[in-house]
């Protein structure tokens, strides 16, 4: 919990608020999933001439959860920008920083390369010591793909949420808990049921998404064959779309990284 006496009281309060929203998101996702909002079915496709294992949605992800994601992202990004503002106040008066054309330049840099970092508009407003700390926190400095870095995802989500609500959906369905009736059609017995997986793991799924193409062993199954799916598959929730789609746990990683950055920047501010 942030204390008003700390040099980064404002940014830390933003981080605390983001974590409160994270708890609300976790609780909301859990309650939503308990309502069986999705299922899988084996359906015959007359155009393809074969059966598909399809993901079906009974209930869409509540808009409220997407809005909570936006609240989390905004508070995390704002925490970084407010900390940067305080650091910039060491080189310029806040009255000067507030001038039009100046205040727009004061933001925490999130960059993919050293040249991009060095060209950031905030650089002239930071003293050497805090600037060095900000530099080592950049995504390109860590041994991981830049596009998967929590800060890159945070920045892209923040930009997305400014213009439209982050989409909520499903991904990474686990079929282990289910079985098929008649008994001869069994997911574990690939001599009885052969599947060709069509949906890449980790990508979002909508109602009607083909998970797999199903081929029956032995005699060909007639188009009218009815296959009942027993049990409940497990799917993870996902927010976003395309290259910025992410699981809720990614937000925890973002919050942890922002916490690390704030702790590193705090040493450059007078208590």
Residue 177 has a pLDDT of: 80
Q: How many CB atoms lie within 10 A of CB 168?
A: 23
In our burial notation (b when 16+ CB lie closer than 10 A, e otherwise), range 18-45 reads: bbebbeebeebbeebbeeebbbbebebe
What average pLDDT values come out for the chain (271 residues) when binned by 10 residues?
A: 74 98 97 93 83 90 95 98 97 94 95 96 97 95 79 92 89 77 44 52 80 68 72 86 77 96 93 66
> Does an H or E element contain 235, and which?
strand 234-239
User: How much is the pTM?
Assistant: 0.86
Q: What is the DSSP string of 174-211?
A: E-TT-EEESTTS-TT-TTTEEEEE-SPTTS-B-TTEEE
Residue in the structure block whose two tokens are 């029956």: 216
pLDDT of residue 263: 96
């Amino acid at each position: 919990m942030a204390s008003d006496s700390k040099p980064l009281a404002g940014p830390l309060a933003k981080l605390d608020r983001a974590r409160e929203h994270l708890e609300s998101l976790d609780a909301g996702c859990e309650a939503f999933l308990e309502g069986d909002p999705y299922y899988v079915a084996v359906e015959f496709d007359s155009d393809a001439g074969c059966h598909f294992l399809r993901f079906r949605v009974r209930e869409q992800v509540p808009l409220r959860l997407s809005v909570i994601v936006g609240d989390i992202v905004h508070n995390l990004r704002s925490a970084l920008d407010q900390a940067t503002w305080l650091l910039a106040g060491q080189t310029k008066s806040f009255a000067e920083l507030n001038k039009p054309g100046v205040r727009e330049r004061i933001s925490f840099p999130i960059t993919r390369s050293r040249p991009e970092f060095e060209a950031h508009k905030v650089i002239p407003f930071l003293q050497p010591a805090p600037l060095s700390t900000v530099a080592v926190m950049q995504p390109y400095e860590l041994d991981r793909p830049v596009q998967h870095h929590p800060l890159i995802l945070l920045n892209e989500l923040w930009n997305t949420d400014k213009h439209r609500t982050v989409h909520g959906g499903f991904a990474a369905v686990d079929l282990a808990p289910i079985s098929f009736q008649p008994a001869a059609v069994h997911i574990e017995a690939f001599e009885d049921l052969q599947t060709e997986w069509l949906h890449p793991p980790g990508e979002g799924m909508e109602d009607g998404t083909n998970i797999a193409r199903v081929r029956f062993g032995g005699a060909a199954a007639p188009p009218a064959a009815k296959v009942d799916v027993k049990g409940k598959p497990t799917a993870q929730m996902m927010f976003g779309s395309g290259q910025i789609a992410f699981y809720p746990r990614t937000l925890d990683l973002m919050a942890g990284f922002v916490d690390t950055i704030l702790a590193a920047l705090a040493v450059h501010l007078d208590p």
